[in-house]
Amino acid sequence: MSTETADGFKAKAEATLAAELDRVLAFSHRLHDNPETGWEEVKASAWLVEELHGVPNARVTHGLGSLPTAVCAEAGNGTLVLTICAEYDALPGVGHACGHNIIASSALGAFIALAPLADELDLTVRLLGTPAEENGGGKIVMLEQGNFDGTHAAMMIHPGNVDESEMHPFACSGFAVRYEGRAAHASASPHEGINALDALTVALTAIGLARQQLEPGQQIHGSVDGAGTAPNIIPEKATGKWMVRAHDVQSLQRVTVVLERCLRAGAVATGAVLHIEQVGRTYADMRNDATMTDLFTANAARLGRTMSRTDKRGGSTDMANVSQVFPSIHPMISLGDGCPPIHNEAFAHHAASPAGDRAVRDGALSMAFTCIDLATDQQHRSRLLAR
């Protein structure tokens, strides 16, 4: 490996990104203006591949196993393999209100900054474009397919309204629920019907009462999609979606039993037939690597960001499943004062603002600098290679 200091490598990485920053930011805005939901990121993944082909000596693959919108790019042939994750799916109705355009662009920026240095660092830098974080668990599928194999550490950043060195997401599962009853005239022959809406009402009541007895950290929340077609017809079908969350996968399994029990109560009370189908994969709880977190915090400070620490839990992510297998980090990058919380239209506006552009640059450099620290410090390097 080169005798160049870590600071020397960081200066080179910063200069490389500075020369390419305009195209990285243009890519961010292009994604923002053309949102695509999970599993449908056809344009986004193609545009990412287009940008990666512009990186000298990058090895790029579009489509991985069963996932046509997944992407892999590698640069360098070093023994230490560091993976940077890019997300680019949007939310239905509110576009990039989770700022995944910033996630993808910062990952691209970090890859561009590191690629020319990879062999000097005895590093293989890998970018994985991971579809459907919001609704499908693309990273979980990619873990199962072996797309993360060989990784020694993984990282990504996520925009938000605060700078935080760690994210503490809940383990999470989602379910589609359907009650099937029997239609009948609500006035002439109500006794001939089986009311699916009543089944759903009983279930909602049971869930509301059960919340008092949930364990700390357990959550149940859901929405009703539809129930019935006209007030004078006994509803023969009622549908909805529910999510359960908990501090860890074991607690998640227990709260799932509670949800299922409440849903069955509606069927038992009315005679309706209950159908429950899990939607997507089960998201695990996040294991933040302490050493990598400290390195990222120090590198963000070089760029003028003070990363706070918090134990507050919120949301869920399939990056947590990656962290169960490989040392990982998932820090939050603020979009500045006045930025609202994620998942609303106002946040989507901030994701394409000057503060959003700064988050792309700072996120890219903080990750690139952290990779350089892991590659140049023998203690850090040995710890990861020994896994």
Tokens representing 364 are 């890219």
- Identify whether the C-beta of residue 31 lies closer than 8 Å to the C-beta of residue 103: no
Number of domains composing the chain: 2
Domain stop point among 225, 251, 282: 282
DSSP 67-126: EEEEEEEEE---SEEEEEEE---BBTTTBSTT-HHHHHHHHHHHHHHHGGGTTTTTEEEE
Residues 376 and 109: their CA atoms lie apart, in Å, by: 20
Is the same domain home to 165 and 290?
yes
Q: In terms of domains, do 28 and 79 share one?
A: yes
Mean pLDDT of 7-18: 98
> What backbone torsions phi and psi does residue 97 show, to the nearest 5 degrees?
-80, 0
Residue 3 banded pLDDT, cuts 50, 70, 90? confident
Whether residue 124 is found in the same domain as residue 192: no
User: What is the CATH classification number for the domain harbouring 145?
Assistant: 3.40.630.10
Integer Cα distance of 2 and 380 in angstroms: 17
How far is residue 74's CA from residue 118's CA, in Å, rounded to a whole number? Answer: 10
Average pLDDT over the chain reads: 97
* Domain closes at, from 222, 254, 282: 282
Same domain, 206 and 317: no
How confident is the model over 84-114, as pLDDT tens digits?
Answer: 999 999 999 999 999 999 999 999 999 999 9
Q: CA 345 from chain center: how many Å?
A: 18
Query: Which CATH number fits the domain that encloses residue 258?
Result: 3.30.70.360
Per-residue tokens: 301: 């400070």
pLDDT at 1: 59
Local confidence band at 311 (pLDDT 50, 70, 90 cut-offs): confident
Same domain, 192 and 301: no
Q: Which of 129, 155, 386 is nearest to 287 (CA)?
A: 155
pLDDT tens digits, 133-190: 998 999 999 999 999 999 999 999 999 999 999 999 999 999 999 999 999 999 999 9
Range of the domain at 163: 6-169+286-385
Residue 350 shares a structural domain with residue 321: yes
On whether the pTM is more than 0.75, the answer is yes
Nearest CA to 126 among 162, 150, 102?
A: 150
> Pick from 282, 305, 324: which residue ends a domain?
282
Buried b (16+ CB within 10 A) or exposed e, 152-163: bbbbbbbbbbeb
Domain match, 225 and 261 both = yes
Q: Rounded to whole angstroms, what are the CA distances from 100 to 66, 191, 194, 353?
A: 22, 52, 44, 14
Q: What is d(CA 108, CA 104) in angstroms, rounded to the nearest whole number?
A: 6
Distance CA 285, CA 203 (A): 27
Q: Are residues 184 and 165 both part of a single domain? A: no
Contacts of 339 (CB under 8 A, 6+ apart): 160, 161, 347, 350, 355
Same domain assignment for residues 33 and 134: yes
Task: For residues 233 and 183, state if they share a domain.
Answer: yes
Is the same domain home to 301 and 278?
no
Residue 103 domain-assigned?
A: yes
- One domain for residues 93 and 142: yes
Average pLDDT of the segment spanning 283-301: 98
Residue 1: inside a domain: no
Which of 134-138, 211-215, 324-328 is the least confident region? 134-138
